[in-house]
């Protein structure tokens, strides 16, 4: 009898975490490493949120809570959905979990049966396909390339839907590309979905607040009320409020789905951390004043990185609407040899040689389902980004 499960054999460890770990190892050996792999803001959780957490500890809010969230937080989430997205949910339509990740995982575990297909636009956040596989479903990646700024078209979505399609996972702004769908672009997709009433929509709005220029964020159930009854609108405090370590994610959706997700959670982790829930309550109900300065900072960094990467030989870097990632195409580098003699046969070889030879850690595109590319997380200072981009330029200039 095998010790490890067949389920485990279906999935792989997160490649983004692997890159971060490798960069940390090299740093510990004394190497001069710049990590552009991690997907988290580089600033501290705002003070009012930290204080709310401290107050919660002192008030003894340290016991088990209701499995899928304290009533105050559910109320705050309902208010947030109404205020920011024009969506009306009642508290029994809200679930709170340990990060956005657990929310998506619960939803897939609660709904996927063998043979069920889940459409995932590629490039995708690395966890989507593996979570579908863990849940016993079949991921159906559909590549949306650089020619459409990494956005899925209506025709592509239409062609991917089959009688077995259970979910369509939508993520805007996107990890790893930063691409954000305009209302018109999203409307083209929701029109298709309206014609296929058996398909459910999982909208991952994690980067909602990180949008630039005059881009206006929209979410499917908001622009197409006809989809409200089969949409799970997912969000969380990790990225907008610099709260990645606190682990709070949430979703709004139909009562029967929310209840089913709570059942999965009740037999796995139970409630998300009680103290973190009080911190999230303050994040949503307290001042939102720091969101705009954070956005402005990220926008400056995006502009710097896009400009500098487009000056690197063989690299084409689109300018995304949001998040804190860019996803440059490196077709012009493939097949060449690095200054230290490594053949750049694919984007994994590129990222590996870049790390070895220049100390810059990025994540290779194959991990996200579209090659040859790499992902840069620009959630770090402009000085560090400039240094990193200059090293990438030198590396590319040295390719023969």
What's the 3-state SS for 328-387? Answer: CECHHHCCCECCCCCECCCHHHHHHHHHHHHCEECEEHHHHCCCCEEEEECCCCHHHHHH
Q: Residue 323 Cβ, how far from ligand PLP at the closest point, in Å?
A: 8
Q: Residue 72 Cβ, how far from ligand PLP at the closest point, in Å?
A: 20
Sheet harboring 231-236: ordered strands across? 94-97, 249-252, 231-236, 200-204, 165-171, 117-122, 138-143
363-364 and 374-377 strand pairing: antiparallel
Nearer to ligand PLP, 120 or 344 (CB): 120
Q: Report CA-CA distances (Å) from 331 to 194, 308, 370.
A: 37, 17, 12
Nearer to ligand PLP, 374 or 395 (CB): 374
Nearer to ligand PLP, 101 or 391 (CB): 101
* Close Cβ partners of 270 (under 8 Å, ≥ 6 residues apart): 64, 67
Nearer to ligand PLP, 248 or 312 (CB): 248
Nearer to ligand PLP, 247 or 301 (CB): 247
Query: Taking Cα atoms as reference points, which of 234, 280, 274, 224 lies closest to residue 257?
Result: 234
165-171 and 360-361 strand pairing: unpaired
* DSSP code at position 211: B
231-236 and 34-35 strand pairing: unpaired
Nearer to ligand PLP, 175 or 274 (CB): 175
In the chain, at which residue ranges do the beta strands (DSSP E only) sit? 34-35, 94-97, 117-122, 138-143, 165-171, 200-204, 231-236, 249-252, 325-326, 360-361, 363-364, 374-377
In 102-248, at which residue ranges do the beta strands (DSSP E only) sit? 117-122, 138-143, 165-171, 200-204, 231-236
Q: Do residues 205 and 219 touch, judged by C-beta distance below 8 A?
A: yes
Nearer to ligand PLP, 201 or 308 (CB): 201
Q: Residue 239 Cβ, how far from ligand PLP at the closest point, in Å?
A: 7
Q: Residue 115 Cβ, how far from ligand PLP at the closest point, in Å?
A: 25
What is the distance between the alpha carbons of residues 165 and 336, in angstroms, rounded to a whole number?
Answer: 41
* CB-closest chain residue to ligand PLP: 99
Nearer to ligand PLP, 37 or 137 (CB): 37
Q: Does a cis peptide bond (omega within 30 degrees of 0) precede residue 123?
A: yes
Q: Residue 204 Cβ, how far from ligand PLP at the closest point, in Å?
A: 5
Half-sphere exposure of 162 (CA within 13 A, CB side): 10
Nearer to ligand PLP, 104 or 399 (CB): 104
Binding residues for ligand PLP, per CB under 6 A? 39, 99-101, 125, 171, 175, 204, 206, 236, 238, 244, 249
Nearer to ligand PLP, 258 or 312 (CB): 258
Residue with the two structure tokens 């025709």:
155
């Amino acid at each position: 009898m095998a010790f490890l499960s067949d389920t485990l054999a279906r999935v792989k460890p997160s490649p983004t975490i692997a890159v971060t770990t490798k960069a940390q190892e090299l740093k510990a050996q004394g190497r001069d490493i710049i990590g552009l792999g991690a997907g988290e803001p580089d600033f501290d959780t705002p003070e009012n949120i930290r204080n709310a957490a401290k107050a919660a500890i002192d008030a003894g809010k340290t016991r088990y809570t209701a499995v899928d969230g304290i009533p105050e937080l559910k109320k705050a989430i309902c208010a947030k959905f109404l205020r920011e997205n024009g969506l009306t949910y009642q508290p029994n339509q809200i679930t709170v979990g340990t990060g956005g990740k657990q929310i998506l995982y619960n939803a897939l575990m609660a709904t996927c049966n063998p043979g069920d297909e889940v459409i995932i636009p590629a490039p995708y956040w690395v966890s989507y396909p593996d979570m579908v596989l863990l849940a016993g479903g079949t991921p159906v990646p559909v590549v949306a390339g650089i020619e459409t700024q990494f956005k899925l078209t209506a025709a592509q979505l239409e062609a991917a839907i089959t009688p077995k399609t259970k979910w369509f996972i939508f993520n805007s702004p996107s990890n790893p590309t930063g691409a954000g769908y305009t209302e018109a672009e999203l409307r083209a997709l929701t029109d298709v979905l309206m014609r296929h009433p058996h398909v459910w929509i999982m909208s991952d709005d994690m980067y909602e607040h990180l949008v630039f220029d005059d881009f206006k964020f929209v979410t499917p159930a908001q622009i197409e009320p006809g989809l409200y009854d089969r949409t799970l609108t997912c969000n969380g405090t990790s990225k907008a409020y610099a709260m990645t370590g606190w682990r709070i994610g949430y979703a709004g959706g139909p009562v029967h789905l929310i209840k089913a997700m709570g059942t999965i959670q009740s037999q796995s982790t139970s409630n998300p951390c009680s103290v973190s829930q009080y911190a999230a309550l303050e994040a949503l109900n307290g001042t939102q004043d720091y969101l705009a300065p954070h956005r402005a900072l990220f926008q400056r960094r995006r502009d710097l990185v896009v400009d500098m990467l487009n000056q690197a030989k063989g690299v084409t870097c689109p300018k995304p609407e949001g998040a804190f990632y860019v996803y440059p195409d490196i077709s012009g580098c493939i097949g060449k040899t690095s200054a230290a003699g490594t053949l750049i046969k694919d984007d994994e070889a590129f990222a590996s040689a870049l790390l070895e030879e220049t100390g810059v850690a990025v994540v290779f595109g194959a991990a996200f389902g579209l090659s040859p590319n790499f992902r840069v997380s620009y959630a770090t200072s402009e000085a560090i980004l400039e240094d990193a981009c200059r090293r990438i330029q030198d590396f590319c200039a040295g390719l023969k």
